[in-house]
Structure 1
C-alpha cells in the first residue's frame, strides 16, 4: 500500500475514532505511518484528505445501508419498513463508529460543497430504491416513489441520530410501524 492509500486509511480511522473537527494532520500521520509532507503531496491539504476519507466513509455507509435494506419482499410494506428500521438499529449497534462518522460527515457539508453534492446525489439515487423496497414502482409512480423514498430516508436519518444519542429510548421498528398505523385512517 502506497502513502496515498495509507493516508486515506489513517484519515478514515481518525474520522471513526476522533471525528472530523478533532482530527489533526499529526493524528492522520500517526495513524497512517506516513509523514506530514505526504498529505500535501497527495492531497494538497488536511481538509482535502479528510474530504476524500469522508467520501470513502460515505461509500462504506451506503454499502452498509444497502445491506440493511434487503428485506423479505413477501412481507407487507409496513412490515418491510419495520424490518429495515430494526436492521438499521442492529447495524448501528454493531458498527457505531461508521454510523457516527456518517452523521459527522453531514455536519461538514456546509463547508465542503463537493461532499454535499455527492451526498445529495446519493440520496436522490437512493430514493427510488427505498420506495421499491416498500413496493412503489418509480417508473409508474415517480412522484409517489420520490415522496416515499424521502420518507424512508428521513426515518433512517432520524432513527440513526436517536440510536446514537439515546439508544435506551430509541424506537424499535415495531414502534415505528405502530406510529404509522396510528396516523392512517381505519382501513387505510
Structure 2
C-alpha cells in the first residue's frame, strides 16, 4: 500500500477487487455511502474516517451541505498523498493524518463520529480499538464500522495468517459493550456486517 501506483489505482481497481474477494457481493458505491451516512446520523463534531485509504468516503462526507469537519486517518503515506490530491481536485476540505490504528491521535471527547469502512478486519487488537474510539468520541457520538462476515475455523486461520481478522456480531457487540458503548445495532448483508453503536452520557443506560 506504500507504492504510489497502488494508491493511484486504489479507488477504481484495488478497492473493488478487495471488497469482492472478501464479501463476494459488495455494495455499489452509492448504496455503500447511503448506508454509512444514515447510520452516522447528525454528528455534533468532526467525523473521523479511520483506515481511509485515499479518502473516498471522507470526500463524499465533506461534499455534503452543512457537513461537519471531516478528518481521515491512514498508516500509508502514499494513500494519504493521493487522498490529498483528490480532495484538492474535488475542492473540499478534509484533514489527513498519518497514524496506525488502534491508537487515535486526538484528545478525549472531541469527535462527533468515527467511521471504519472496511478497516475493521485489519485491526488485530479489537479491544484497544474500541476503547480508543470510545475515548475520542463526544457523548452521543457514533461509531460506524463494517467487516466481512466471520468464516469457519480453517479459513479464519488462513485469513489471520495474512493479517486479516474476520469477526461476527457477537464479538463486536461484546467488545462494544465492554468499552462502554450503548445502542448497538447491526445491518447484516450477504457476507457483510455493518454495525453502529453510541457513546452514552453518564445517565444513559447500557
The alignment's TM-score, normalised by the length of structure 1, stands at: 0.28
| Between structures 1 and 2, the one with greater strand share | 2
Higher Rg: 1
| Between structures 1 and 2, the one with greater helix share | 1
The alignment's TM-score, normalised by the length of structure 2, stands at: 0.26
